């Protein structure tokens, strides 16, 4: 039995190291290792990684909660901030509202998500997608710090 388990492990280990490629491999030299590609973002079957899905607040979500964003980028000469975060699929998870509190030293931005009323009695898949929304500030950002209000 031990020999059978060992043989199975060897087959699995050998299979994990094997890779198929749709394009010919780049030549390698002792000084240059082979190029490594990310199968999630560069395989012909899935294509390139998609950019975040732009969304707007709905204002009618139920079971609303704060959600942390992963990236905040000033745009339009600092008059707007583009936020990016990971979320669920609509209508099961929608952006309800965005709260912006501006002071002289910081801008606190809080995202609120919940379920759309349309999602009632609907089966929801549990998959994460990246979303983005843009908020307009009262004054240009300048040297103020952007803070996540959900932290």
How large is the average pLDDT for residues 132-137? 98
Residue 22 lies in a domain: no
Average pLDDT (124-151) is 96
- 128 falls within a domain: yes
DSSP 84-113: EEEE--TTTSEEEEEEEEE-SSEEEEEEEE
Q: Is residue 82 part of a domain?
A: yes
> pLDDT above 70 covers what percent of the chain?
68
What is the model's pLDDT at position 19? 45
Residue 57 has a CB neighbour count (10 Å cut-off) of 16
**What is the average per-residue pLDDT within 125-143?**
96
The answer to whether residue 33 sits within a structural domain is: no
Give residue-wise pLDDT tens across range 12-60.
Answer: 444 444 444 444 444 444 554 444 443 333 334 455 567 999 999 999 9
How far is 7 from 9, CA to CA, in rounded Å? 5
- Average pLDDT value over all residues in the chain: 80
What domain count does the chain have?
Answer: 1
Which has the higher per-residue pLDDT, 114 or 6? 114
Mean pLDDT (whole number) for 94-121: 96
How far does CA 62 lie from the centroid of its chain? 23
- Position 43 in a domain: no
Q: What is the pLDDT, as a whole number, of residue 31?
A: 55
What is the number of helices (H) and of strands (E) in the chain?
2, 8
pLDDT at 22: 45
* Domain of 85, in residue numbers: 53-148
Contact 20, 37 (CB under 8 A): no
* pLDDT of res. 50: 78
Query: What would the pLDDT profile of 94-106 be if each residue is shown by its tens digit?
Result: 999 999 999 999 9
pLDDT of residue 49: 60
- What is residue 106's predicted lDDT score, i.e. its pLDDT? 97
Q: Does any domain span residue 5?
A: no
């Amino acid at each position: 039995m031990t020999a059978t388990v060992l043989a199975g492990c060897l087959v699995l280990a050998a299979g994990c190291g094997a890779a198929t490629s749709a394009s010919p491999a780049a030549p390698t030299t002792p000084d240059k290792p082979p190029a490594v590609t990310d199968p999630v973002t560069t395989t012909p079957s899935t294509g390139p990684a998609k950019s975040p899905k732009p969304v707007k607040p709905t204002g009618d979500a139920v079971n609303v909660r704060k959600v942390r964003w992963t990236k905040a980028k000033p745009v339009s000469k600092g008059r707007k901030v583009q936020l990016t975060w990971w979320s669920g699929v609509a209508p099961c998870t929608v952006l309800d509202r965005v709260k912006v509190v501006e002071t002289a030293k910081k801008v606190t931005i809080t995202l609120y998500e919940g379920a759309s009323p349309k999602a009632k009695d609907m089966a929801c898949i549990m998959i994460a997608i990246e979303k983005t929304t843009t908020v307009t500030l009262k004054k240009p950002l300048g040297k103020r710090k952007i803070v996540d209000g959900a932290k």
